[in-house]
Amino acid sequence: MVDSQYILPNDVGISPLDCAEAFPLLSPKEKLYAHYLSRASWYGGLIVLLQTSPESPTIYVLLQRLFRKQPPSVLESVASAAGLSPEEYQAFLVYAAGIYSNMGNYKSFGDTKFIPNLPKEKLKALIWQSQAFKDSPTQMEALWNSCGDLMYSLDEKLKQLGLGDKGITTYFSGNCCLKDAELVQKFLDSKNLSAYNTRLFKQVNNDGKCCYEVRLASAIKDECPIDGDVDNKCGCYNFDGTLFKVVRGDYAPLMQRVVDCLKKAKAYAANENEEHMLEEYVQSFFFGSIEAHKQGSRYWIRDKGPIVESHIGFIESYRDPFGSRGEFEGFVAVVNKAMSARFAELVNSAEVLLPELPWPTQFEKDRFLKPDFTSLDVLTFAGSGIPVGISIPNYDCIRQSEGFKNVSLGNVLAVASATQKEKLTFLREEDKDLYIKLKNPSFEVQVGLHELLGHGSGKLFVEDEKGNFNFDSKNVRNPETGELVSSWYKGSETWDSKFSTIASTYEECRAECVGLYLCLNNRVLSIFGQEGSDAEDVVYINWLNMVRAGVLALEFYTPVNKTWRQAHMQARFVILRVLLEANEGLVSLEHTVGSDGKPDAIISLDRTKIRSVGKPAIERFLRKLQIHKSTADVEGGRALYEGYSSVTDSEPEKFLTLRETVLLRKEARKMFVQANTRVQGDTIELQEYAGSAADLIRSFVDRFHDDGEELEEEILALSQMDAHCWS
């Protein structure tokens, strides 16, 4: 038996990334822009294969050839003839889906290797009986010979990504260790050369001396300067008595494809910022210049609130064991215009909704300012994995002085928690169908309220340097005590500086409470198209989801140092505690034993008590949160919030025990099936897929339908070029 850490379970969650509402609402020009950016992202995303492990490119090509000749539904009968059980065939499909989702055979979250969960001989038998093998036996056999052993190997060094003895990496040749990485970093710093788009290859000569080759990713291979090549740093250097060569052309054919697509996209840009941004990215990817990418990122920051948002390049450095080389990623996300229209109506109703909040008008802002928030739906996310939100650029020099953008990815968030009935933990059977049906619409109501009226509401009392108050300090009273307000923010004090360590989670909690509280308002519900008994169901599921999230949150609590690692999850746990405390049978939490004999739990919410018990409980708590916030009362705020945040094993809830159950029942990381875009005449068509391993595989075969063979030759050639460097 293989340690389950190194396989993907057959029932791993696979969900379509739904873009069906957002994409059709784009204009034809926006669709074309999104399409060519998507193509650039997908081609560039293949670079991750070469950045992950020596065998990843070959495994990918083997799978593409297999499935191009026979889609999963057809290959199934071949598998059965080859002696695979249905479970073994499913394990193979899940493995293939995992390779596509992670762009390699190491998990993008956690960096551990995963291997096929079926015997090697069976997989070989399947390949040997496939149509792809019948058509080109020599090629298929060569592919298998080159990756079969590595695909299955769980040698200590191959179990995870790492440098030197610690693991495998393709950011460095196999003979590099930490000392090499440090020396080269010094060299790069001395030349003011960023490591983001580089890899490092060390050659040891016969005389024992070594030479380092720093290879830059670029479409062009030529090292001599040519027209427009302003940032050329190629050449030989002597640094500290060691020879360094800076060359370019890493991933050249793939970089060229990215460049070609970005040039096409530019013709459909919405404004000059987007045009300049793409020009700089083209420059960066063509010549291998990070300076040009930084310049492109500057235009990107200035492109505020675009309908089609994107980012592309060597972005996150988590997977370089040394932490300075970026992994390629490209994404395209689009504003969901229908959802934005509902959010806009919510903002327009702020004047009538804000007075509903449980604090006196003096505690509300003099004028409502719409917070800067757009939720985007991901159309394309190419690379090793999809986050729920991003904050880029990572270039510190730009972040500090010129800013950055936070991007919230709505459709990723929406499927991040379980949607398959069998996987739905901690709910009563009778709640599950309704939960699955209404989770997304109720989530949309909650997100809209949270972002716009949650973060957008409430006033901070301030006395500026000149002694001017922004409130009537002689008359404003604390609604809880009836006494005059006695504390406020002075001079340069801010919410973050005063509440420091708890500021973000406290504020998230306040925003979540506003969502729960205002979703009970009929006007809000009708803005989101919810009326009558359906609306009551949406309210119920929104509250139930919050209660369940409070339980799931325990995963993000670390008992040894008693800390919370995630602001939103801590906030949801706090809300669960508040609702449990309200008692009167509103929420009940039961420790049980599952059908597998292992510990389980059931959480339930009495829907008849939401308005009678739940609403007043949230009302009291939300008011307290706001008063402490408005009056800069850190001591009071901290005591309140940290009290509800504490996790103990006391009866009846036994949260520490519950945490063990939550960890035990934690769902494996989901995979996403992404749509394809295709030119159809002079428009762009969206091709969507359902959520299974077979669908995920089909989406990848279709994605490279037109140029698959040519592309695979390029990938294999790139991978073989360095094959001697890894051992």
Catalytic machinery residues: 451
Exposure string over 64-79, b if 16+ CB within 10 A, otherwise e: bbbbbbbebeebbebb
| Two tokens, residue 248 | 């370019």
Q: How far is the CB of 670 from Zn ion (least distance, A)?
A: 22
Which of the ranges 48-56, 328-336, 507-515, 677-685 carries the binding residues for Zn ion, by CB under 5 A?
507-515
Q: How far is the CB of 452 from Zn ion (least distance, A)?
A: 10
- Cβ pair 21, 337 in contact under 8 A: no
Is the Cβ of residue 450 or residue 665 nearer to Zn ion in the bound state?
450
Number of other residues whose CB lies within 10 A of the CB of residue 458: 24
Is the Cβ of residue 130 or residue 545 nearer to Zn ion in the bound state?
545
Q: How far is the CB of 328 from Zn ion (least distance, A)?
A: 30
Q: Are strands 671-673 and 14-16 parallel, antiparallel or unpaired?
A: parallel
Is the Cβ of residue 373 or residue 726 nearer to Zn ion in the bound state?
373
Query: Binding-site residue total for Zn ion (CB under 5 A)?
Result: 2
How would DSSP label each residue in 514-576? HHHHHTT-HHHHHHTT--HHHHHHHHHHHHHHHHHHHHHGGGGEETTTTEES-HHHHHHHHHH
Which of the ranges 260-268, 389-397, 510-518, 623-631 carries the binding residues for Zn ion, by CB under 5 A?
510-518
476 phi, psi to nearest 5 deg:
-75, 125
Which of the ranges 110-118, 121-129, 504-512, 595-603 carries the binding residues for Zn ion, by CB under 5 A?
504-512
- Cβ pair 726, 169 in contact under 8 A: no
Q: How far is the CB of 511 from Zn ion (least distance, A)?
A: 5
Which of the ranges 248-256, 374-382, 400-408, 508-516 carries the binding residues for Zn ion, by CB under 5 A?
508-516
Respond yes or no on whether the N-terminal peptide bond of residue 57 is cis (omega within 30° of 0): no
Q: How far is the CB of 625 from Zn ion (least distance, A)?
A: 14
460 phi, psi to nearest 5 deg:
-100, 130
Q: Pick from 64, 62, 87, 68: which is nearest to 9 by CA?
A: 87
Classify burial at 150, counting beta carbons within 10 Å of its beta carbon; exposed 0-12, middle 13-18, buried 19 or more.
buried
Is the Cβ of residue 571 or residue 662 nearer to Zn ion in the bound state?
571
247 phi, psi to nearest 5 deg:
-125, 170
Helix (H, G, I), strand (E, B) or coil at 408: strand
CA–CA gap between residue 396 and residue 402 (Å, rounded): 10
Q: Pick from 229, 196, 234, 231: which is nearest to 213 by CA?
A: 234
- Cβ pair 459, 488 in contact under 8 A: no
Q: How far is the CB of 450 from Zn ion (least distance, A)?
A: 6
| Two tokens, residue 53 | 């492990």
How would DSSP label each residue in 606-622? -GGGIIIIIHHHHHHHH
Exposure string over 659-694, b if 16+ CB within 10 A, otherwise e: bebbeebebebbbbbbbbbeeeeeebebebbebbbb
Q: How far is the CB of 455 from Zn ion (least distance, A)?
A: 6
Which of the ranges 157-165, 419-427, 511-519, 585-593 carries the binding residues for Zn ion, by CB under 5 A?
511-519
Indicate whether 503 belongs to the interface with Zn ion (CB under 5 A). no
15 phi, psi to nearest 5 deg:
-125, 145
Q: How far is the CB of 513 from Zn ion (least distance, A)?
A: 11
Which of the ranges 194-202, 503-511, 668-676, 679-687 carries the binding residues for Zn ion, by CB under 5 A?
503-511
Which of the ranges 140-148, 436-444, 509-517, 612-620 carries the binding residues for Zn ion, by CB under 5 A?
509-517
Contact letters for Zn ion, residues 450-489 (x by CB under 5 A): ----------------------------------------
Q: State which of residues 8, 49, 412, 511 lies at the interface with Zn ion (CB under 5 A).
A: 511
Q: How far is the CB of 566 from Zn ion (least distance, A)?
A: 12
| Two tokens, residue 345 | 């109506």
Binding residues (CB under 5 A) for Zn ion: these are 508, 511
